[in-house]
Amino acid sequence: MTLYQRTYHWLRRHQLLRQNVQRILTRPAIQTNPLYHRIYHRRIQKIMSQGEPFPLRVQIEVTNRCNARCLMCPRDRLRRPLGVMPRSLSANIIDQCAAGGTHEVILSGYGEPLLDPHLEERITYAKEQGLPRVSTFTNGALLDEDRAHSLLSVPLDAITFSFDGATRQVYEHIRRGLSYNQVVENITRFRTLRDQRGQTLPIIYMNMVQQHDNMAETGAFMDRWQELADYVFVTALHNMGGVDKITALGPAVGSPRQYPCYHLWTGLTIYWDGTVGLCCVDFDGASIMGDLNKSSIREIWTESAFRAVRDWHQAGQYDRHPLCKDCTADHSWWHQV
C-alpha cells in the first residue's frame, strides 16, 4: 500500500477530519492556488493515464429490482425495464475486466443485490478470474442467517451497508419499506458470524448518505457503528445529474468545477441488460454509451461517445452534457486510490 493509500484509509476512519480536509481542499482559494493546481494536475494526469485504456472500476448492476423505496432514490422515475443480469453476460464482463486490468468490480447498481439469486456465484467467478477486489452494496434487509453464511462462504472482499440514520424514526422515514430493528439485527449477526468463522473479509463498511433529514444524526450514526464496522463513512447526497426531488432533500455538494470529472476516466457503469451508462449518476440510462451485447468494454470505453464527453471536460465545457451540466456529485480525484 502506498503512503497515499495509507493516509486515505486512515482519514476514512476519522470522518470529521476527513470532512474538514475535504472542505479545505474545495475552497476556491485552494482550488485556484498555483501550487495546489500543479500537485493536483499531476495526480489527475497519472490517474487518467492509468484509466484511459481500460476502466479501473467496473460497476455491474446485477439487478435493478429493489425491496425498498428510499426517500432520496430516483428509482420511482426509472423507465428502464426491471430485471436480473444473465449469468453468461456477467461472466463475459468479468472475463474482460480480468483481462483488461480492472482493479475493482462492484456487483451493485440501482437495485438490491441480495435479490439476485446468482450473486454468490458471480462473486466466486470474479475472484477465480483474478479480480483484485470484488465488492457489493446492500441495504441489509434480506441478510438473514442463511444468506449471511452463504455470503461469508464466498470470497467477497468488501460489503457496504447503506444505513441512513441513527434512530428508528429517521431511518424508517428515509429507508422506506425497511425495518430498523431487522436491519440492525442482520448487520450485527453478519459481523458476529464473520468473526466466529475467523475471517477478516469481507471488509464491512457502513455508509450514511447525509441529507437534511438525517444531518443531526451524523455523530450518533458514527458512534453507533464504530465498533461493529471496519469503516464508517458519510457521503453527501448529490442530485443524480439534476433530479429536482433529490436536490430538495440535501445540501448542494460537489467541488467547484475547475477540473474534469474522474468518473469519466476511471469507472464504467453497466446495467443489468448489458447497456452502458455515462457514469454511476445516470440511474435511468439517459445517456447510453454502448451495449455489451454488441461491443466489448474496451471498444465502448475508448470509442467516440466517451471520448467526446472527456474532451468537453478537458476543455472545461462541463455544461455540454445534460447530466454533467447540473451534477452535484463529488468530482474529486483525491478519492481515487
DSSP states of 262-286 as a string? THHHHEEEE-TTSEEESSTT-TT-S
Which of 37-45, 113-121, 197-205, 319-327 is the region at the interface with ligand SF4 (rule: CB under 6 A)? Answer: 319-327
Work out whether 329 is an interface residue with ligand SF4 (CB under 6 A).
yes
241 contacts ligand SF4 (rule: CB under 6 A): yes
Least Å distance, CB 28 to ligand SF4, is 19
CB of 261 vs ligand SF4, minimal distance in Å: 3
Q: Does 246 bind ligand SF4 (CB under 6 A)?
A: no
One-letter amino acid for residue 73 of the chain: C
Helix (H) or strand (E) holding 221: helix 218-225
- Site stretch for ligand SF4 (CB under 6 A), options 57-65, 114-122, 173-181, 323-331: 323-331
CB nearer to ligand SF4: pick between 94 and 246: 246
Answer for which of 279, 289, 292, 297 binds ligand SF4 (CB under 6 A) is 279
Q: Which of 278, 323, 308, 296 is nearest to 99 (CA)?
A: 296
The stretch near ligand SF4 (CB under 6 A) out of 104-112, 154-162, 292-300, 325-333 is 325-333
> Taking the CA atoms of the chain, what radius of gyration do you get in angstroms?
19
Q: Is 237 in the site for ligand SF4 (CB under 6 A)?
A: no
Sort strands 203-210 and 231-236 into parallel, antiparallel or unpaired. Answer: parallel
Amino acid at 2: T
| Residue 279 identity | C
32 exposed, middle or buried (CB, 10 Å; 0-12, 13-18, 19+)? Answer: exposed
**Closest CB to ligand SF4 among residues 233, 259:** 259
Q: Is 278 in the site for ligand SF4 (CB under 6 A)?
A: yes
250 to 269, contacts with ligand SF4 by CB under 6 A? 261, 263-264
Lookup: cell for 206? 457502513
* Other Cβ atoms within 10 Å of 84 Cβ, number: 19
Question: Least separation, in Å, of the C-beta of 260 and ligand SF4?
Answer: 8
Least gap, CB of 245 to ligand SF4 (angstroms)? 17
Q: Write phi, then psi, for 112 (nearest 5 degrees).
A: -100, 115
Amino acid at 217: E
Minimum Å gap between C-beta 321 and ligand SF4 is 6
For residues 237 and 253, is the Cβ–Cβ distance under 8 A? yes
Contact positions vs ligand SF4 (CB under 6 A): 241, 261, 263-264, 278-279, 281, 323-324, 327, 329, 331
